[in-house]
Amino acid sequence: TDDDVDTLKELIKLKYPTTLRNVDVCNLLLWKCLFPVDENLRETLNTVRFDANEAPLATLPNLLRDRQQFNADLPETAPSTLGQHTNFSNLQENDAQKIVWSRPPHADATIPVTLYHPIFRQFIDDCKTHEPIDEDNKLVREITLAMSKFFPNKKARTAELLEILKDNGIPATTATIYSKGHSFPTDGAVESKNSLIMIIEGELEIGSTGAEPYAQAILYYAHSAGKKSEEHVNFNFPCLIITVFGQTLPPSLVA
């Protein structure tokens, strides 16, 4: 009966809480299959052998285990320190701990970012096809003029950027990330549903000393998404990273 099927679905979800965490019971599809089993089938199943290329089932990576290991091994060092090129380059040499990025080239992603989440594909398409409206032009003009000025320190530069973003309807604020018993203040961020969807990392000028700004920002992202990446194993967490220094403002995406 339908009630029996619904009960079975509930039991299946209880049996596999992690795998089916983000799947509603009503979306589970159960198939009833009846295969005639005779001696010929038994003999075939007992004697058939597959090599690695022909095997009907391949072992998939344990995503939850890998994420737990990555988060456990993520150093507690503040991103402002770990993001310095010497420290970050050492991190990138560890295959189990590297941040998937093209620095160095062998640490680059093997899967195009557009396959991780539909929003990335949409972002790439929008970059090519979006027609700017008046509000877009206004935002770009204000940022270009403001970031071309000289500032006494990076805090003043990023503070002005945050004000411009807020004036244009983007709720950017300074945010603090709490991870592994530490607090890591960011230069700026936009939060939605308890997730950071934008992280801003500023420098005073091109060539300023300290952490590589993109490396620092992506480490903020790793700390902010750590716990959620284990709770929602089948989901990626898109985030726009903006690094600002001098009059340059290059955006990028991570997941």
Cβ partners under 8 Å of residue 76, min gap 6:
180, 181, 182
The H helix count followed by the E strand count for the chain is 9, 6
Q: What is the per-residue pLDDT for 228? A: 87
Residue 236 predicted with pLDDT over 90: no
Averaged pLDDT for residues 46-75: 74
The two structure tokens encoding residue 96: 């189990």
Residue 22 predicted with pLDDT over 80: no
Q: What is the per-residue pLDDT for 251? A: 55
Q: How many CB atoms lie within 10 A of CB 247?
A: 14
Q: What is the per-residue pLDDT for 167? A: 97
Q: d(Cα 251, Cα 124) in Å, to the nearest integer?
A: 12
User: Could you tell me which residue, 69 or 111, shows the higher pLDDT?
Assistant: 69
Q: Which of 88, 49, 63, 13 is nearest to 233 (CA)?
A: 63
Averaged pLDDT for residues 23-49: 76
Provide the whole-model pTM: 0.73
Three-class SS of residue 126?
helix
Q: What is the per-residue pLDDT for 52? A: 55
Residue 42 predicted with pLDDT over 70: yes
Over the stretch 45-58, which tens digit does the pLDDT of each residue have?
Answer: 777 666 655 555 55
The string of DSSP codes covering 129-165 is H----HHHHHHHHHHHHHHTS--SSHHHHHHHHHHHH
Q: Which of 134, 119, 144, 146 is nearest to 236 (CA)?
A: 119
Q: What is the per-residue pLDDT for 106? A: 86
Averaged pLDDT for residues 135-143: 95
Which residue bears the tokens 């709490």?
178
Confidence class for position 247, pLDDT limits 50, 70, 90:
low
Which residue bears the tokens 């089938």?
41
Confidence class for position 25, pLDDT limits 50, 70, 90:
confident
Confidence class for position 208, pLDDT limits 50, 70, 90:
confident
Region of poorest pLDDT, from 25-34, 70-79, 154-163, 188-197: 25-34
